Chains A and B, each alone.
Chain A
Amino acid sequence: MRWESWADFWAMGGYGLYVWGSMGVTFLLMALEVFLARQARLRAEREVLQTQALNQQDGEAA
């Protein structure tokens, strides 16, 4: 390991703000993107289930 301690690791030789600001925002945006893609997927699934249910009702009525 290259680091004396955790404090040393987080300090990044004085560049902590810049390095962790880069890593943190990158990770957050990727996580957010995955979350939003998942939400969109669930919404689409609900829509499809609804149309399927409607079609079934129509089929039974006919």
Chain B
Amino acid sequence: MTIRWFHYAAPQTFYGLAGRLWPWFAVLATLLAVAGLWIGFAVAPTDAQQGEGYRIIFVHVPASWMSMVIYLAMAFWSVLGLTFNTRLSGMMTRALAPTGAIFAFLSLWTGALWGKPMWGTWWVWDARLTSELILFFLYLGYIALTSAIDDPRRSDRAGALIAIVGAVNVPIIYFSVKWWNTLHQGASVSLTQAPSMARIMLWGMLLMAVAFWMYSIALVLYRVRTLILVRERHTEWVQQLEVRP
């Protein structure tokens, strides 16, 4: 079976596809978040060490994961863009950036609110926290640079460079808790070991993580449609398009 990738990579086709898909992801995000919050706040027990304070985990870990995943997705689209010179790649990268920036900020924010009661400080300059802060600045740098260059092609290429070079930081964040001594606890969930948290807490967290995935996909599909409209507004197909059906 061959999927006609380049067919779907045409902005015109992708515009319709994204328009059909995003509502489903939005519905899934809502349902999963309701289920995750229900488990997180009504079912999951009090933590033996951290009392009720640990419940920050239900947003902190999903937000942190998404901040890293979205950056990698931006790097992926940037490689595609530079290699094949497809128009959609730059628009996808650009559509991802704001959501990634928000999750990076939320990771730092919820981390600070968790650090204060548990470590006694809002912030320390340790490897995990510092590398996540750098990730947040990379997002801001990408957004600032791409919006400063008017020509879309040049803007996309410049942005792609930041996205690709900055991706080096993502494994540094992920492994920072192993490579350096840090206040931040090690991974609660890893691919190689059994999770170090109670099963029901883990379920709540995973549901929230999937909800954040669905939220991000819905929003990025929605946002890329706007970008396509703006960039292609003078083309024949947009001129024929019924914008509000």
User: Chain A residues in contact with chain B, CB under 8 A?
Assistant: 1-3, 9, 12-15, 17-19, 21-23, 25-26, 29-30, 33-34, 37, 40-41, 44-45, 47-49, 51-52, 55
Contact = CB atoms under 8 A, between A and B. Distances in A.
Interface stretch (B1-9, B142-150, B183-191, B219-227): B219-227
B5 to A, nearest CB: 26
A22 to B, nearest CB: 4
Grouping DSSP codes into helix (H, G, I), strand (E, B) and loop, the A interface class, with mixed when no group exceeds half, is: helix
Contacts of A26: 59, 63, 106, 109-110
B171 interface: no
Contact of B55 (A12, A33, A37): A12
A61 to B, nearest CB: 16
Interface stretch (B40-48, B73-81, B162-170, B173-181): B40-48
A13 B218 CA distance: 35
A19 B56 contact: yes
B60 A22 contact: yes
Given A2-B45, A18-B117, A48-B243, A23 B59 contact: yes
A18 B114 contact: yes
A41 B222 CA distance: 8
